[in-house]
Chain A
C-alpha cells in the first residue's frame, strides 16, 4: 500500500514552482481545449489538480506493483524466443498496469490520445518508476520516442503511430551499432529506397538496443550511399513487422537493469518510413532526442539515488550494534545526511532543467501553428539555451550521485549489503549504467564546458544569487557568491594559455564547480519556499564547499606542463 508519489512531498513541491503557471498556460495554450475534451483542464489550478491525481495513480502502481516485482524481474529477466523478446512476468504486469491506467502518452497532445502533460510531471513519473525499478524505467521512458515523432515527422506518420502509444505500444530508439557507440557518425545500417515498392528498406545490424523488440522503432540509418559521416544519416520509423525482416539475435547479459532487454537486432529488407527530412537524422533529430534522453536518465538517476537512500535509512534505523541503532553513530548519520542532500540537490537541478525544457518545447508546439512574436522567439531561445546548459549537468551529477548513494547504501548495510538478500545490491548494479549510457559523464563535461568558458553558468549563478531568500540563508549565500568569484578566476586561469589539452584536462573540475554552485543556490532558494529543504540546503552547501575548495586548490597549484605526467607512458 505504498504510494511513491505521495510519500515524497519533495515531488509535489516542484509542481508548485512559480514558473509552472507560465508552463501550463503555454502548454495548454490558454486552456483552449477545455470544452472539446472532457478531461482537459479548465484553468491552472485544475491542471495542477489533474497532474496530482495522475501522479497519485502512477505512484500507487509504482508502490504496489512495480517495486514489489523488481526483485523477481531482476532474477528472471527477458528472454529471446523465436527471434522475439519475451519480457519477464513482472515486467509484463508492470506494463499492463500502466497501460490500463491510461498513462502512456502522458506528454502527447490530446488529439493523439495523450494527456498533454508538461515535462515536469512526466519527468516525475520517470523518477518514481525508476525508484521502483530502474530497469523498467527504460521501457516506460522510451515513450520519449513519441515526442520525436510528434516534433519532426509528417502528419501522416504522426497519425499512424502516435495514437498507438496511449494504447500501450512500446518504443525503442535504435542508434548504436558495433562500431558506432559514442561516435554515432559511424553508423552503417543501410537504408535504400525501393522504387518498385515505394518504400525504404533497412539492412544491417544494431547493437545494445534497449527494448529492441518494441512495436514502434526509431532507427538511425545511412540513406546517402557513399557517405561516411553524420551528414549521410537519416531517421526512420519502423512498424515492427515481427517477421523475418527483423530479428532479435540476442539479449545482452548485463550487470544491472536486467529487466530492460538490451538487444542485438538484424534488419533484412525491413520496411521503414523516413521521419522528417533526409540527412537530418543525426545532426538534428538525434541531437534533440538525445537531450530528452539525458533528462530521462537524470530522472532515472534521481529515482535510483532516492531508492538507495531509502534502503540505507531503513536499515540504519533497524540495525542495532553496541546497544543502539547504527543511525545513532556519527559515521553513519553523516553518510545518510549527505546521501539525502545529494538526492535533494540532484532533484532540484533536474526539475529546474525540466522547467526550462518545458518552456521552450511549448513554444515549439505553438510555432507549429502560428509564427511566434519577436518576444516569444527571444523567450524561447533563452529557455532553450538554459535547458541546453543544464541538461549535461543533470545527467552527470544525478547519475554520479545515484552511484555514490548506491555505494554508500551497501556500506551502511555492512556485510548484509554484500549479500543478495537486500535490495541495495540490485540498486548498486542498476546504478552503474547511469553514468555511461546516453553519453558518459566524460561526454557531459564536453557538452557543458562551453557554458563554463562562455560565462553562461556564471551569469545564471549571478541571477540565482540576486533572488530574494530567507535571511537565515544569507551566510550560506555569501559563501557561494565568493565561490562564484573564485570560479571566474579559475576559468580565466584555464582558458588563458589557449592550450586545448590543458583546457580539456581541467574541464571536469570547472564543470563540477559550476554544478555544485548551481545546486547549492537552488537548494537555498527552494528552502526559502519550503522549510523541508533547509537541512539539505546547509548540508549540501557544506559538502559543495569542500568539493569546490579541493578543485580550486588543484587548479591553482597545477603547472600546465604537468599534463604530460598524467599521460600513460605505455600508450606507445
Chain B
C-alpha cells in the first residue's frame, strides 16, 4: 500500500527568542527582527509523514506552504529531510489572511492536487497559537480530522489509527481515509537534515528565486526536474477572491499589548535544599502560592 501524504507547513518568526525589538510600535510583529523558522509542530507533523513514507513503500510526501517568496525555504528544509516535492502558495492576494482565509486558500490548493490520503500539520503555529487552521482545512474539504496526534500507529484497510495526547492522558482513535491529522509538540522530534539530500536539493528553487538570483546552476533545472519548486499564485488554483486575504478575513486585531514581566526584586539561590525549603515557606506565607 502506498500513501499520498500532504504536510501543511508554515514559516514563522522565531518567537522563542524574543528580543526588545520583536514588536513594532503599531503592535504588529516585527518580522525583520526575528529569524524565520520552520514552525516547530509542523516539524513534528513532517516526521509523522516521513515515518508513514518509510513504512509504506512507494508513498510520497508533498509539502504545501503559504507565504512570501522566502517561505520556499520551508520546502527545501522538508526536501532535506525526505519529502518528495512541495508547493509554495504565494500571491499578494493571500496577504493579510486570518485563519479562515488561510484555511480556505490551503484547502483550494489541496483540491488542486491529484489525490490525497493523509494530510498532516502541526497543531498550531507559534506566531498565532490559534490551532484553527488544521481543523478548518478539514471542514472545508469535508474530511474527518484527528487533532493532538502524538503518533500514527497504523494504516490498514482504509483506516488510520492514531494516539492522541490529551490534557489528562492519551486516547487511541481510528479514522477513515482520507483524513487530516494535527500533530502535537509532544510527538517525536523531526529527524535531522540528511547530508545526501541536502547536497541533492540545495539548488532547488522556485521560478521567482531563479529569476532573482543569477545562478550558475541554471542548466540543472531542466536536467533535474526535482529541483523545481512549484509556485502557485491565485491564478493557479480555483478560488473565490472574496474569500482570500484581508477581504476574506473577518478577524480584526484591535490592539496588541506587549507585556513585559518585571520583578521588583530578584533573589539568587545556589540550589541547596535548605534554601528551596525556605523559599517555599516564604512564598506560602506571603500567599504567592498555596
Q: Which A residues have a C-beta under 8 Å from some C-beta of B?
A: 1, 38-43, 45-46, 49-50, 53-54, 57, 60-61, 97, 100-103, 106, 115
Contact = CB atoms under 8 A, between A and B. Distances in A.
A49 B215 CA distance: 13
Interface in B156-198: 191-198
Contacts of B217: 42, 46
Given A38-B224, A42-B217, A54 B195 contact: yes
Contact of B194 (A40, A50, A101, A106): A101
B216 interface: yes
A54 B220 contact: no
Interface centre among A41, A45, A57, A101 (most CB of B within 10 A): A101
A103 B220 contact: no
B281 interface: no
Interface of B: 16-17, 191-200, 202, 216-217, 220, 224
Contact of B195 (A38, A41, A101): A101
Contacts of B193: 53, 57, 101
A97 B81 CA distance: 13
Given A1-B17, A38-B224, A97 B198 contact: no
B191 A100 contact: yes
A40 B193 CA distance: 17
B199 A60 contact: no
Contacts of A100: 191-192, 194
A115 to B, nearest CB: 6
Nearest to B192: A101
A1 B17 CA distance: 10
A61 B216 contact: no
Contacts of B224: 38
Contacts, number: 52
A101 B191 CA distance: 8
B81 to A, nearest CB: 9
Nearest to A61: B192
Nearest to A105: B195
A45 B198 contact: no
A49 B217 CA distance: 13
Interface centre among B192, B194, B216 (most CB of A within 10 A): B192
Contacts of B199: 39-41, 50, 53-54, 115
Nearest to A54: B195
A42 B198 CA distance: 14
7 contacts: A39-B196, A39-B200, A46-B217, A54-B195, A54-B198, A57-B193, A61-B192
Contacts of A102: 194-197
B202 A49 contact: yes
Given A1-B17, A45-B216, A46-B217, A38 B200 contact: yes
The 8 closest A-B pairs by CB, nearest first: A39-B199, A101-B192, A102-B195, A102-B194, A39-B196, A53-B198, A38-B200, A39-B200
A60 B198 contact: no
A232 to B, nearest CB: 42
B273 to A, nearest CB: 15
A310 to B, nearest CB: 19
Given A42-B220, A53-B193, A53-B199, 10 more contacts: A39-B197, A42-B217, A45-B216, A46-B217, A53-B198, A54-B199, A97-B192, A100-B192, A101-B194, A102-B197
Nearest to B193: A57
Contacts of A106: 195
Contacts of B191: 100-101
B144 to A, nearest CB: 32
A153 B152 CA distance: 45
Contacts of B194: 100-102
B202 A50 contact: yes
Contacts of A46: 217
A494 B235 CA distance: 84
A57 B199 CA distance: 12
A191 B43 CA distance: 52
A50 B199 CA distance: 6
A50 B198 contact: yes
Contacts of B195: 39, 53-54, 57, 101-103, 106, 115
